[in-house]
Amino acid sequence: MKAVVVETDILTPFGPGIDACWDALLANRTSLSPVSRFATTAFYSDYGGTVPGLQYDSETSLVMQMLARLFEGTGTKIPGDAKLLLATIKGEIDLLEKSIINGAGEAGESSLNNLLRKVIDLTGTMGGGMVVSAACTSSSAAAARAAAMIRGGEAECVLVVACDSVTEFIFSGFSSLMALDKIPARPFDKNRAGLTVGEAAGYTLIMSEERALREQRTIIGEIAGWGLSDDANHMTGPSRESEGLIRAINAALDSAGVSAGQVGFISAHGTGTPYNDAMEMRAFRAVFKERNVPVYSIKGGIGHTMGAAGLVEMAIAQRALREGVVPPTVNLKEADEDALGWVADRRQAIVPNSIALVTNAGFSGINTALVLA
C-alpha cells in the first residue's frame, strides 16, 4: 500500500506558501538578517531567519501564530478522522520564557502535550494525536512514522504538523555551543563556520493511495521509503565515521525497493556547521561511490528551522521532482573539497523520472532518510 502526499503547505521566513520559498531559493536569495525581536549583543551571532509579522510578546505563542496562519482557510482539505503527528523540538518555548523571566502565566502552559491539544483543536482532527520530538529530525521522523502507519494498515490518513520558532532561549542555546556562524550560514562552503537559526511551520497530509484515489485527491508525490538510525556518538556531535547516516540511507533505499543509482538528487540537512556537512558528504560518498549526485541545502536561505526542517525540505524536494531542477545552495561561495562536483551555487537539472533522497541529522546522533517519488 503506497503512502502518498495529497496536501502540503509551509510558512517560512520568505512568507506563506511553497511558491514563495521555492522562487526565492531558485533565485539564490536568503531571508537571513539580524534578529530584532530580542537583544543579541550577548550572543555569538546577530543573524536568524524569522517569519515576518509575528509578535514575540503576545499572549499567543510564536508557533501558534504561525499555525493559525498556516491553517486559515484549509476547510475540508483536512479530514476529521486523520491521525495527527505533531513534530517539534521546543514548541511554545516562548511561554516558558515569559513565565521564568517575567513571572507571566504558568510554566506548564509550554508543555508539548498542551500544544498537541491546541493543534488538534485548530485542525479539527479527531483520529488521535501524538508528539514526535526527535531533535532536528522531528518532522522527517514523523513523516516516516506516518508512511509506516499507512503502509502497515494502521491508518488511512495521517496529518503531520511541524513547527519551531526563534526565541531568546533557542538562540542562547546554540550560541553557548558556539554553533552559530557570525554571518548567514554557508552550507558545504569551504569557509563555513556554523548554522543560522530559523523558524517555520508546515503540514503535510499523507493518505493511502487507495483513499486518495477514492476521494479524487491530487497526488503530489509518494513517501516511498524511510530509514532511521542513531550513531550514539555524542550529545551534540555527529560520528566522524558517518555510519549512522549511511545506515539510515541504506534502510530508506531498501524500504523503497530502489537502488542508489535511481536517486536523482539529495536534499541534505546541510546546516553549515563544519562537522555536520563533512559527516553528510562522507555518507553520500560511501553510498553513491564515485557517482556525483546533485546535492543542495536550503538552510542558507531560511536557516535551520529545527523540528520543522525535514517537512519544509520534503515540500521543496517534492517541488524539485515535479520541476526537474534543484535549487542552488544559497550562500555557497567556494565548495569544500569533499563537496566539489556535488553542490552548486546555481540550479541543477535532474534526470527525469528519478527519485529524491532527503536527509536530516540531530543532537544525540539521530539520523533520518526519506525516499520521495
Consecutive H or E run containing 265: strand 263-267
Among candidate residues 21, 136, 157, 163, the one labeled active-site is: 136
Residue 146, burial from CB neighbour count under 10 angstroms (0-12, 13-18, 19+): buried
Residue 304 annotated to the active site: yes
CA–CA gap between residue 201 and residue 54 (Å, rounded) = 12
Residue 234 annotated to the active site: no
Among candidate residues 21, 157, 163, 304, the one labeled active-site is: 304
Residue 327 grid cell: 535549487
CA–CA gap between residue 85 and residue 130 (Å, rounded) = 5
CA–CA gap between residue 95 and residue 91 (Å, rounded) = 9
Q: Are 314 and 326 in contact (CB under 8 A)?
A: no
Nearest of 269, 289, 288 to residue 279 by alpha carbon:
269
Residue 225 grid cell: 521509503
Consecutive H or E run containing 160: strand 157-164
- Active-site residue list: 136, 269, 304
